[in-house]
Amino acid sequence: MSPFYTSKSTEWDTDLVFKQLWTISRKAEFMLGVGPEWVHVRQNGKVTNSISGEIAGDFMFWPTGKHRFGWFLEPAYDYSFAGGHQQSIGWLARNPSSSSLACFAGLSSRWMSGAAGNRERI
């Protein structure tokens, strides 16, 4: 579940992505995933819900090869099946902790394109 905020809107995305893991080496892994996403948007007092599809690739780098400390980079693409067919491209970089899946520190960015062809970075 991911919230995105702008000055005029709030968006909550919840996804269920099924991923396949490939081990590249002792220190590098790659996962590719695809799945559905539910999008809840509140914009200018109007609330909409829609279904989207998501594809994501996860690159994981482990400096020691022990998988206790490493880096994680996830580019993703979303396509909305609602009217307007909004699309977004985003990425997430973080340091995952093997002891706690819920706790992480990271950076994320996202670009969106709507039906009118306007692009917005959030």
Q: How many domains does the chain have?
A: 1
Token duo for residue 94: 């973080």
Q: What is the CA radius of gyration of the chain?
A: 16
Among the residues of the chain, which ranges form H helices? none
pLDDT bin (cut points 50, 70, 90) of residue 55 is very high
Question: Under a CB-based contact definition with an 8 Å cutoff, are residues 52 and 12 in contact?
Answer: no
pLDDT digits over 57-114, tens only?
A: 989 888 887 777 788 888 888 888 887 777 777 777 666 554 444 333 444 455 555 5
- Return d(Cα 45, Cα 53) in angstroms, integer: 25
Closest CA to 55 of 24, 84, 88: 88
Residue bearing tokens 């969106």: 112
DSSP class per residue in 34-50: EEEEEEEEEETTEEEEE
DSSP character at residue 40:
E
Q: How much is the pTM?
A: 0.67
Domain region containing 49: 2-121
